[in-house]
Amino acid sequence: MLTPLATRHDSRPLTVHDLSAFRPLRATLPATSKKIPDPIRWLEENSNNTYAVSRSLPQISLLGRNRPRAALISLVRNSELEGMMQSMRQLEFRWNRKYQYPWIFFNDEPFTEEFKTSTRNLTSAKCYYEVVPREHWSLPEWIDEGRFMNSLEYLGTIGVGKGWMVSYHHMCRWNSGFFYKHPFLKNYDWYWRVEPDVHYFCDIDYDVFRFMRDNNMKYGFNMNILDDARSFPSLWTRTMAFATAHSHLIHPEADLGWLLEPTNGNEYNNCQFFSNFEIGSLNFWRGEGNEAYFNWLDKAGGFYYERFGDAPVHTLSVAMFAPKSEIWFFRDIGYQHDINHHCPPHREGKCSCQPTSMDENFYKLVPLESPQRKPADTCIRQFLGGEWLKKREGWTVEGEKAFGGDGYHGYELLGDEL
């Protein structure tokens, strides 16, 4: 049974703000229940390429040993071939040459033979090339096209990243609520999203999909950073309305407290899992809660009248429908996407990058001209909580800023402890 550690004393509907005031529910499990996952121990026991595919008997290795139904997936255009090859070369060298998971490429138009031949030549794993259904990459019938055109002009004028591009709105919507519905993925349970022109800096010596499955994880991220709030001004209001109307769908151990800013009236702090790197459960996205939430946002038009991004949408969905214990920080995987760069500490000989601080990428996506108010603590520290939020004795925000700092360098733990 589930034993609540905090209870409410009124009968009003549950709201997102209520969720931040709850302490997590602790599961009281019967003696015969399954063992609670221990991801740290799993990594200690399996970070030696235990489940790598045998080079001498690859097909037998792939078919046996209860292998997860998983794939590397990428939404990519034919014109992005060079960038895709860059990403593939590094991920194959660092990981997939040992594990041989298939690559599945998606495009809103058919792939060229050059794209297919070039990508197949980079891997001994199987490759598949799929077209996004037209209904998943076009303006929905309930969207006012004139209003959409006006919003494109406005978003471009104020400088919201790629907000003026029609295709970018389609992409955000597809990544938010349609990729996991593609017919080709129906027989898959797990995915690793791979973008073109990204970098993977570290050897990965375990099967990330087995790790996710064996430890009952729903979502894995690599960076947790601020987004430009001008992209989605109504997202939080609509999310609160959804939570109120669908309180029965919210996970009993949901924790949105780390996404609320107490110095700003408990409004959304605009933190997000940087979703161009994500490893996750397709069945989580297929679940009733996420589907209802996506449809709620979609019908409101925010993917077109604003620029709802898949990163904040995924972040809020994961926070509402999964407990924190089923969300994993892949701190050990070095990664770079454009200006955002993550390199783990204590992996000498395994990584070709200089370790970055815990808070390295906190507000890089927020333009200087954006008037949004930054939260008191960095996003990753709010997610981790506890000791990670403690400040050094005598340190103050005002004191640091007086000497030219940004007010985020007073933490006791520097981040190289992980």
* pLDDT per residue as tens digits for the range 42-87: 999 999 999 999 755 555 555 556 999 999 999 999 999 999 999 9
DSSP SS3 for 225 = strand
Residue whose token pair is 């990729």: 179
Shared-domain flag, residues 315 and 230: yes
DSSP SS3 for 205 = coil
Number of domains in the chain: 2
Shared-domain flag, residues 364 and 399: no
pLDDT over 50 (residue 375): yes
Kindly list the catalytic residues.
Answer: 278
Q: Is the Cβ–Cβ distance between 314 and 276 less than 8 Å?
A: no
Q: Which helix (H) or strand (E) holds 89?
A: helix 81-91
Residues 261-295 pLDDT 10s: 998 889 999 999 999 999 999 999 999 999 999 99
Q: Burial of 113 by CB count in 10 Å (0-12 exposed, 13-18 middle, 19+ buried)?
A: exposed
Bridge pairing between strands 70-75 and 190-193: parallel
Please indicate, yes or no, if residue 26 is contained in any of the structural domains: no
Shared-domain flag, residues 411 and 372: no
CA distance 188 to 367: 38
Q: Which amino acid is at 354?
A: Q
Shared-domain flag, residues 129 and 261: yes
pLDDT over 80 (residue 369): no
Shared-domain flag, residues 362 and 331: yes
| Rg over CA atoms, the chain | 22
User: What's residue 62's pLDDT?
Assistant: 55
* Residue 200 CA, distance from chain mean position: 16
Shared-domain flag, residues 206 and 286: yes
Residues 118-162 pLDDT 10s: 999 999 999 999 999 999 999 999 999 999 999 999 999 999 999
pLDDT over 50 (residue 260): yes
Shared-domain flag, residues 327 and 394: no
Residues 212-256 pLDDT 10s: 999 999 999 999 999 999 999 999 999 999 999 999 999 999 999
Residues 165-217 pLDDT 10s: 999 999 999 999 999 999 999 999 999 999 999 999 999 999 999 999 999 99
Shared-domain flag, residues 137 and 82: yes
Residues 90-130 pLDDT 10s: 999 999 999 999 999 999 999 999 999 999 999 999 999 99
Shared-domain flag, residues 412 and 264: no
Mean pLDDT for the chain overall: 90
Structural domain of 399: 389-417
User: What's residue 35's pLDDT?
Assistant: 76
Q: What's 295's domain CATH number?
A: 3.90.550.10
Shared-domain flag, residues 364 and 397: no
